[in-house]
Structure 1
Amino acid sequence: MNKLLVITVLVALFALSAESFRVPRQAEEEQEEQGTLTKISNTVKSYYDSAVNTVSDCLDSVKGMKLEEKAANLYTDTVTVVSTYVGIFNDQLYHYVYPE
């Protein structure tokens, strides 16, 4: 019981002394009057950063869809089908030119 009382008193003292060690908030440094050119350049920089972030997000979402793999599969399937029909056309043309 005595230990609990001692611990409670110590915690209370630490809490009261910790409050005195708080760091006061520092006021934001006042910015000097910005010129027109500075405002324009800051605006352009913010638009550029926004555009870059948007494009990189779009590229990440496209990479997530695995479009390159799908395009490669589509190409392989198309080449297979077209080569089959080109072979049939070649056979028909050969038998048309050489009927025997």
Structure 2
Amino acid sequence: MNKLLVVSVLLAVLALSAEGFRMPRQAEDEEQGTLTMFSNTIKSYYSDAVNTISDYVETIKGLKVEEKVRNLYSETTTILSTYNSIVQDQLYHLFTGQQ
């Protein structure tokens, strides 16, 4: 008798919970106007472009381009300051001459 009661309670719970999982009916597609189709197309192209650009930005960030540019800048300024000092020294000796 207890098994029958347990089975009937479980069956009732399952039946009530299954009722909550019903899918709502989908309305039939309404005919879209020209302006709606045009705006949906523009929105689609815009979202595709934004997604593509976001992917490119993430790819560039993955390549660590910013770090490479910073290193290139620091190395270039170091080299140019060295050559600038050499040119200043040469110009100084060119204009002052030997005394």
TM-score with structure 1 setting the length? 0.73
* Matching of residue 52 in structure 1 with residue 60 in structure 2: no
Partner residue in 1 for 2:67: 69
Residue 35 of structure 1: aligned partner: 33
| Number of the residue aligned with 2:7 | none
> C-alpha root-mean-square deviation of aligned residues, in Å?
3.0
CA drift of 1:30 comes to 1.0
Task: Tell me, yes or no, if structure 1 residue 95 matches structure 2 residue 93.
Answer: yes
- 1:6 maps to what in 2? none
Q: Deviations over 1:64-98 (max 9, x none)?
A: 11111111100000001111111111111111111
- Secondary structure in 1 aligned to 2:50? helix
**Number of residue pairs the alignment of both structures matches:** 98
TM-score, normalised by the number of residues in structure 2? 0.74
Name the aligned partner's letter for residue 55 of structure 1: I
Distance (whole Å) between structure 2 residues aligned to residue 57 and residue 27 of structure 1: 37
